[in-house]
Structure 1
Amino acid sequence: MSNGVASLRSELTLPDGVAYLNWASQGIIPNGSLDAMMSLLRLRGRTDVDIAEREFEGADRARSLAARLIGASAAEICLTTSTSVGLNIAAQAIPFKPADEVLLLDAEFPANVVPWRNLERRGVKVRTVSVAGGFPSPELLDAQVGPRTKAISVSFVQFHDGFRNDLAAIGSICRKRGIYFVVDAMQGLGVCPFRVKEIDAHFVATGGTKWLVSPYGTGFCYIRQDILDRINWLPAQGWLAFEYLGHDFSRIINVERRLMPGARRFEVGTLPWHDFAGFDASLKLLLEVGVEAIYAHVARLYDRLAEGLSTIDGVTVKSCLERPARSGILSFSVSDTAGLCEFLLSKGVFISHREGAIRVAIHGFNNEEDIDRLLAATESFGKAEG
């Protein structure tokens, strides 16, 4: 049981002298989540235990926890194995016709591009909106909406510079224009507060491997209840999309089948149950602490980092520092960004090199010492280069 943000770091096994600031690339799985995974896996190694019911209960729990995280109902959640799966569900479920179009920002991560490009073979047009070296805005998207625009798909947080999109304003535009609103929430969900009903999205997709500190092979897709009732075909269909006799599989041949109620009908096949045991434990931990509390902590560390970088010669901050646009990601560059990246890694400061910048990703598991270690190493590198 967590006792607040201060206790989060104790949930990890981190070597001494390491500042892990790479959550936007890969989250570290907490010890309790690893234990939950191994516990279920060990049961799979026994012949005297039938764990099928436990696995189905774990999936039900995962849907409920995911729903709590974003402020939805469990009936609006289907479990997936990645963000890409969820975005493909959205792309295939929206009733596009030839010459319809979808709007994307020009700096989207490929997971939020490829599923839409795949629709081009059906005559759907994918139009990218340029931010011209600046930052996105709802007004910029609104100005590009045309008579054939069917959907807008954006990231909650841009992967390379951490810009947090104004989803409520974009959702309002989509509602007024009568178009579908899709959100890639992979970056930001778990560290930034997110209430899906306030943004009026039709679909939200995420994976668990980054800020949700969960194993590979976990994720979920939110599908708004009112459009669930309007989707009259499934892009893919598996046997677990149907109701049988509860979880009694003693008779499944020639038994009347009905599609699962809600979003579960989009779950095509058997899920990696042990991975979702870790997902359950990780979401429970984050929810116990509270995403609002986590973000308040991250915001303080972000301030410390931004202020520290402002005192180091040669540093150019690439992220938007306006508070509504901040997330857990701050990106900056120097004259030799690639060299600084290698130097930081050699000093035990784990970050990413993305789009010509150092991407720093701060979570509730971090502390002041992590930020100070990064700042000291960056300043040291600058002096050595000078």
Structure 2
Amino acid sequence: FATLLHAAEEEIALVRNTTEGVTLVAEGFPWKPGDNVVLPADEFPTNQYPWLNLATRGVEVRRIPLVEGRVDLGRVAEACDARTRILSVSWVSYWNGWRNDLDAWAELAHRHGALLFVDAIQALGVIPLDVRRTPIDFLAADGHKWLLGPEGAGVLFIRREHLDRLRPLGVGWNSVRHAHDYQRIELDLKPTAGRYEGGSRNLAGLLGLEASVRLLCSYGPEALFARIVEVTEEACQRLRGLGAVIRSDRTPEHRSGIVLLDMPGRDPQALRRRCLERGVVLSCRAGGLRISPHAYNDSSDLQRLIEALGA
């Protein structure tokens, strides 16, 4: 993961899922009553509930409505003030595939003296990210989406200078420097993100995830994303020929591997069931159909999709 993100190994912790990563930051941050978090209103629940759960500590969550499915950074900026501590955002929207400009988000957060948390589950592994150039502060992702790994194995990135800012949670035998000296009881935490790996982990899941990440890195995120753009552009073209309306923003700066579409006059739930019966897997989101082709998909897969939707 350090190679994938261009991060230091000391900044990487292995976690069970995105939720655990968000929670470690949300619950470990040194909040004061009156502080606030700013995030888009359409975030996946994983990137909302851990922040909303801070209400008992006097922390306000400011949820910014979207404009026609798009994030308006101007509105986000207007919601920030001197008590804004964290901006939290998905790199790619789970429902319509909108890809956020993380450089712009990081600049906005830091301009207001805040930090940036990124939910990267819908992009990590197939869209390039260099945290040395894009100064995000925290990132979390589960491995079972675009990373093609098992469920229950994920990653948390904490920029080195923030390690001591967070109160460590889930501290256990593996959180200390002398992890295998069980007779020595001294709370001497590891000076790395490994302090969050408190106990025994999902080794089978992590081994599977390691194999998947190595495979993805052998191709490189740049090549993988170029292929995904090629496949999704072909999908959009063929779907429009079938009468579909593409709701996702497909401009180069915001497109991703997720495409949301409408089939006017047809029930998306019924269409999804028909597709599943034919071995074509897609989802219903926001009253439409969502497809998420990966780099391994090809024109024959798209043909099966077109035939299933057109049946």
> In which range does the TM-score fall when normalised by the shorter chain?
over 0.9
* Mapped partners of 1:137, 1:170: distance in 2: 11
Match of 1:174 in 2: 109
* Mapped partners of 1:132, 1:300: distance in 2: 27
The CA deviation at 1:257 is 5.2
Which amino acid is 1:308 matched to? R
Worse-matched range after superposition: 192-201 or 295-304: 192-201
The CA deviation at 1:256 is 4.8
* Mapped partners of 1:348, 1:280: distance in 2: 28
* Mapped partners of 1:254, 1:347: distance in 2: 59
* Mapped partners of 1:368, 1:300: distance in 2: 10
CA 1:256–1:101: 2 relative to 1, 3 Å: closer
Match of 1:317 in 2: 246
Percentage of identical aligned residues: 34
Match of 1:16 in 2: none
* Mapped partners of 2:281, 2:13: distance in 1: 33
* Mapped partners of 2:48, 2:177: distance in 1: 34
Contact 2:17 2:141 in 1 (8 A): yes
Match of 1:142 in 2: 77
The CA deviation at 1:133 is 3.0
Aligned counterpart in structure 2 of residue 112 of structure 1, from 25, 44, 47:
47
The CA deviation at 1:125 is 0.5
Alignment of 1:184-333 (within 5 A): 184-231=119-166, 233-244=167-178, 249=180, 251-254=181-184, 256=186, 258-313=188-243, 315-333=244-262
Count matched residues: 309
The CA deviation at 1:132 is 3.6
Q: Which runs of 5+ in 2 are unaligned?
A: none
Worse-matched range after superposition: 74-83 or 143-152: 143-152
Contact 1:137 1:166 in 2 (8 A): no
Which amino acid is 1:311 matched to? G
| Deviation string, structure 1 residues 300-342 (Cα, Å, up to 9, x no partner) | 11110111122222x2212111111111100101222111111
The CA deviation at 1:258 is 2.1
Matched, 1:343 2:274: yes
| Deviation string, structure 1 residues 282-306 (Cα, Å, up to 9, x no partner) | 1000001111111111111111011
Match of 2:33 in 1: 98
Alignment of 1:12-161 (within 5 A): 66-161=1-96
Contact 1:234 1:266 in 2 (8 A): yes
Could you say which structure has the greater relative contact order, defined with CA pairs below 8 angstroms and 6 or more residues apart?
1
Is the radius of gyration larger for structure 1 or structure 2?
A: 1
* Mapped partners of 2:28, 2:185: distance in 1: 28
| Deviation string, structure 1 residues 193-237 (Cα, Å, up to 9, x no partner) | 222233211110011111111111100100001111434x32331
TM-score between both structures, scaled by the size of structure 1: 0.77
Q: Which runs of 5+ in 1 are unaligned?
A: 1-65, 382-386
Which amino acid is 1:281 matched to? A
* Mapped partners of 1:376, 1:370: distance in 2: 10
| Deviation string, structure 1 residues 85-112 (Cα, Å, up to 9, x no partner) | 0000111222211111101111110000
Worse-matched range after superposition: 99-108 or 367-376: 367-376
TM-score between both structures, scaled by the size of structure 2: 0.95
| Deviation string, structure 1 residues 72-93 (Cα, Å, up to 9, x no partner) | 1110001100000000011122
SS at match of 1:198: coil
CA RMSD of aligned residues (A): 1.5
Contact 1:102 1:125 in 2 (8 A): yes
Which amino acid is 2:128 matched to? P
Match of 1:377 in 2: 308
SS at match of 1:258: coil
CA 1:236–1:256: 2 relative to 1, 3 Å: closer
* Mapped partners of 2:232, 2:83: distance in 1: 41
The CA deviation at 1:255 is 5.4
Which amino acid is 1:219 matched to? G
* Mapped partners of 2:71, 2:142: distance in 1: 23
